[in-house]
Amino acid sequence: MSEWVRICPLGEIPRLGSRVVQTGKGDVAVFRNSSDEVFALRDQCPHKGGPLSQGIVFDRKVTCPLHGLTVQLDSGEAVAPDSGCTHRYRARVDKGEVYLNLS
C-alpha cells in the first residue's frame, strides 16, 4: 500500500488559499502559496483549535482566523514569540495533481 493519496487538481486550490480534506485522521488543511508550493497541516491552531484552513496565507505562513496566531506552513510551528505546534503532513504536486501523505 502506498502512503500517498490523491486529493484534487492544483487548480482547485486558489493561490494564497486552501481547501479542507476529510481524512481518517480528521480534517487536514491543504494550502497553496504564491509560488504554487503546497503544504498540509492538521486543521487546528495550536492556540485554541481554530481552523487554520480559513486563515490568510502568505509566504510560507498562515494566520489563524480566530486570534491571529501565525503558523509556519512548512513545519506546523507557531511563529515567535508565540509557541505551539500543529501536525504537519507531507504534500506535493505531480503533473498538476495534489498528493498528500497521511503517515
58 to 77: interface string for another protein, x by CB under 8 A: xx-x-x-xxxx-x-------
Shortest reach from residue 79's CB to another protein, in Å? 10
Residue with cell 510560507: 60
Regarding 19 and contact with another protein (CB under 8 A), the answer is yes
Regarding 83 and contact with another protein (CB under 8 A), the answer is no
**Neighbour count for residue 97 (Cβ, 10 Å):** 14
Q: List the end-to-end C-alpha distance of the chain, in Å, as a whole number.
A: 12
Nearer to another protein, 55 or 76 (CB): 55
23 to 52: interface string for another protein, x by CB under 8 A: x---x--x--xx-------------xxxx-
CA distance 70 to 76: 10
Regarding 10 and contact with another protein (CB under 8 A), the answer is no
What DSSP string runs through 29-54?
A: EEEE-TT--EEEEES--TTT---GGG
Shortest reach from residue 1's CB to another protein, in Å? 7
